[in-house]
Amino acid sequence: MSQKVISWSLVSESWLMEFCETIRGMRLLGYTRVSTNDQDDRLQVDALLAAGVARRDVYADVTSGARAATGRPGMSRLLEYAGKGDTVVVWRIDRLGRSLLDVLATVELMRTRGVGVRSISDGIDPATTNGRLLLGMLATLAEYERELITERVRAGVTAAQAAGTKFGRPPLDPDDVAAKLAIVDQARAAGRTVTDAARLVGWSRATYYRHHTSNRPNPTA
């Protein structure tokens, strides 16, 4: 009799955990973002509540557009809390990122975790045919924007090279390198380790050995 009770208890507990996980994956989670403390997110919150999001499930950020979505505290908490099957609801899709690329990166991150995204004003809802079409169009525009950025960078590099701009690290002063080598060698002679001695002049162990090797006198010279 006791074995049956224990078995039923284990089954009930397992079923309850599975049921709770299923319910957990059916939630509507809201997200709002405003740029400054002077702005009010009440319009966004009211729209989310009207869409069925519970007030306790609304995550908010007050931040400028300079920071990527995943680096914002409110979005970080939302991503940590959201589970497979949940849907994140926003007033407008641009609340999810500082740019089209950032928005698509956030949407894709949620998609890989099984989290849906719905935008009230834009009519974007992956559960509908039109919503999926709009997301596809956004992805196409994001790829176009990415290619434009790449082309602008390449054009800028080409123009700079034509104007004589040199890229890469500036050449090192041989006298400065020799002076630092002398300091490190003296510290090593006094009993310091290579790592500690190199740190005195702002070098790593590898940097010291690189300069030490390249500055050794050539025995055939």
Which of 14, 35, 64, 204 is flagged as catalytic? 35
Q: String of b and e for 123-149 (b: at least 16 CB within 10 Å)?
A: ebbbeeeebeebbeebeeebeeeeeee
Rounded distance, CA 147 to CA 153, Å?
10
9 catalytic? Reply is no
Q: Give, in order, the Cα–Cα distances in Å from 29 to each of 40, 99, 116.
A: 19, 22, 10
Rounded distance, CA 88 to CA 85, Å?
10
Give the rounded distance of the alpha carbon of 89 from its chain centre. Answer: 20
Rounded distance, CA 38 to CA 62, Å?
10
Amino acid (one-letter) located at 130? N
CA dihedral 144, 150, 154, 156 (to 10 degrees): 90
Q: String of b and e for 161-178 (b: at least 16 CB within 10 Å)?
A: eeeeeeeeeeeeeeeebe
Question: Which residues are annotated as catalytic?
Answer: 35
